[in-house]
Amino acid sequence: MPGRKMQTLSDLKRSIRKASQILLITHLNPDGDAVGSMLALSVALQKMQKRTVCVCDGKIMEKYAFLKSAGEILKPDRIDAVFDLAIAIDCADQKRMGSAEKLFFAAKENANIDHHGTNESFGRINIVHSVSSSGELIYELIEELGTGLDAETAECLYTAISTDTGNFTYSNTTKKALLYTAELIGLFDYTRTADYLYRTRTYENTRLIAKAIDNLSLYEEGRAALMYLCRSDLAEADVKNPDYEMIVNYASEIDTVKVAVFLRELKDGGYKLSLRSSGDLDVAALCAEYGGGGHKNAAGCSMNAPFEEVKETILSAVKKLLNA
């Protein structure tokens, strides 16, 4: 369901001003950019005396529980109201909203804020730009709204921008992202937040990383790496709140690897795939062939098939990409 052409932040500001009740939606199994961006905007809108509700079809990882309003994010099935405005944040496509998709299109007005190049502008208002993170776009929207930054919004936006840039080491790290972050870190306990995000991990999740590394193999003369986790690996590691976000990096950081793939078995069958690449190797285009998407060097998709079939399919696609 393609939407209109791009609108401006001023267009979205007008819709926000008209709305009394605003629903904020982010994607399934949200990462730091999704959670941080949604919560930062919620705080800003509440300063405008708007009633906001944050929803997500998926579990919020324990590592983001330190964010003040993280515990207020609801499941879509808890919502039965029709909102004046629904805003999808960091959703590369409308299906990424999961069961919250129906709430988005039921609202009187809707908007789509995202930074993924594969986004098809599914909202009536679309703020879609290829920048470092959705957090960067929310920072600019908050400036447009004139609500100002406080400790809570700054911490949320730092979480969004820093996690989606790999703590400012990925190729999507821009001068603008760093300038915005420079404005943020003086407003909250930056060291404490960085500790939560980058220097804290449970023993169980450490064991899970070890299992994924045990399941790592190289292909295509070392240019491709594939690692995986099965449901049995989670059981053996005794992980109640698994953190998968950075696991693929252990494969992509191998000196010879140009494309890294991480497969994890889903509870209801099939596999979630996370891909990373270097240089001009476009894994977003590869993932789009399987209903996924993302960024040129970081993307994902899902495949509903047995492990060996998924492995063979993705390795064949990676080989084709490497040899193109």
**Between 254 and 241, residue with greater pLDDT:** 254
Query: Which of the four pLDDT bands, split at 50, 70 and 90, describes residue 240?
Result: confident
Residue 13 sits in a domain whose CATH number is 3.90.1640.10
pLDDT of residue 6: 65
If asked whether residues 207 and 230 sit together in one domain, one would say: yes
Residue 106 tokens read as 């039921």
256-311: pLDDT as tens digits: 999 999 999 998 889 999 999 999 999 999 999 999 988 899 999 999 999 999 99
**Integer Cα distance of 207 and 96 in angstroms:** 29
Residue 165, domain member (yes or no):
yes
49-85: pLDDT as tens digits: 999 999 999 999 999 999 999 999 999 999 999 999 9
**Nearest Cα residue to 161 out of 123, 193, 202:** 193
Instruction: Indicate the DSSP class of residue 60.
Output: P
Residue 4, domain member (yes or no):
no
Decide which of 156, 183, 198 is a domain's last residue: 198
pLDDT of 5 strictly over 80: no
Which stretches does DSSP call E strand in 85-185? 85-89, 110-114, 125-128
CB atoms within 10 A of CB 238: 10
Residue 223, domain member (yes or no):
yes
pLDDT of residue 295: 87
Which structural domain, as residue segments, surrounds residue 294?
Answer: 203-322
Q: Please, what is the average pLDDT of the chain?
A: 95
Report the domain count for the chain: 2
